[in-house]
Structure 1
Amino acid sequence: MMDKLSIKYIVIEDEPLARRGLVKLLKGYDFLECLGMYGNTEDARMVMEEQQLDLIFLDINLPEESGWDFAQFIPPHIQIIFTTAYPNYALESYELNALDYLLKPIAEDRLKKALDKAASHFQQKVPDKGPATTNDHIFVKADRKLFRLELNEIQYIEAMKDYVMIHTKDKKLMVAMNIKTIFNQLPNTDFVRINKSFVVNLNKVESVDNHWVTIAGFEMPLGASFKDELLERIKKQTINR
């Protein structure tokens, strides 16, 4: 017997009336569960990182950080439906694999079509047990540009408050994202956390002892609560190869 469909969502919209109006419309669908509505991306970011979120209704014209910029860093397992008064980004939205692009004012029949897409997507989705990706690269935003990073270029990632520093052999990129968010975008076969502040590429590890992990001559502390996971992952890689 198929489990009852349940899609957990948030709304990010800076206009209070539009925000409440959309949530009111969405209450008519019993398979949707609202986890919150927010006027900017900063307030929404914590919920995205700490809750099991499925879907974001995302306005593009937002204060401080636009919805378009924010969307670049939304983990791939979270789906996006853009809501905006401007048609300009409709084509580009599909480059981000957005489920749909709704123009304001949002008509109920048009919203229903978007939600039918969402229901179909999540009914067909095969559940997994951890973050993974089939891509061999990610895009990150640094210095007001989008950079394509091949995953095998990444040596390690260092947390720096609300940013991370991505280290490769040839460059360092400062990205406005916390370490948990970027870790969730990386394949769990090759990347592992070794403490609260570092994620490492297992393929770049030079040595490991009881207290330190070394990559490219740089030593990083190995957290006690992360040690068993790291050693188990190394063991699996050794067996598989």
Structure 2
Amino acid sequence: MLKCVIIDDEQPARMLIAEYVKKVPFLELVGEFKSPIEAMTQFQKLQIDLIFLDIQMPGLTGLEFARTLNNKPHIILTTAYSEYALESYELDVDDYLMKPISFERFFKAVSKIVQKPNTPGTPTQPVVSDTSLIVKADGQTHRIFTKDILYIEGLKEYVTIHTAEKKIITLESLKKLTEELPADEFLRVHKSFIINQHKVSSHSNHDLTIGAKKIPIGSSYRDDVLKKLF
């Protein structure tokens, strides 16, 4: 989990980034500040892994503030002005986002950070025992019994593990999970889905049903899936 703060003198910009942070399971917002000076009074109290830092601010600019930091956390600069790009790279920041910032571009920037070695929130390889899957999500370690998993749905860099009672979003790939989960229990049926074979109630040549969920069967997986189901 990356603990992050936003430093920007414009409230709409802070609100947008805060909204984006809430959508990403490996980010936790621990502070919002209107200026670097305001932020500095709180930095010792907060454990910060990542700063979303505006460049153009009155008093002390984002670039000037970044130069004052010892043991720098990860920094993603945000600005409406492209002329600062070269100077920002000299500061060895992680990324440079041009306003208005899209969620797709935001997610790409934070994903690059969390995939770096020794970064807080970097996904650890899931551990599979005979009966359970151990994953990290929302700053906690979860044990999910494999018998309770209905299906796993992939979305870019992370997956959603669905059980009858809850869903857990974790930074992982379907490919790794396919290799780690028991082959006699779980089956990749689509580029975006792994299913628990024992939870399938019905199927056709094109989809299958688990509970109230219809899951497509990908054309490249169809022959293997239809041989193994029922």
Give the alignment's TM-score, normalised by structure 1: 0.48
Q: Report the structure number with the largest CA radius of gyration.
A: 2
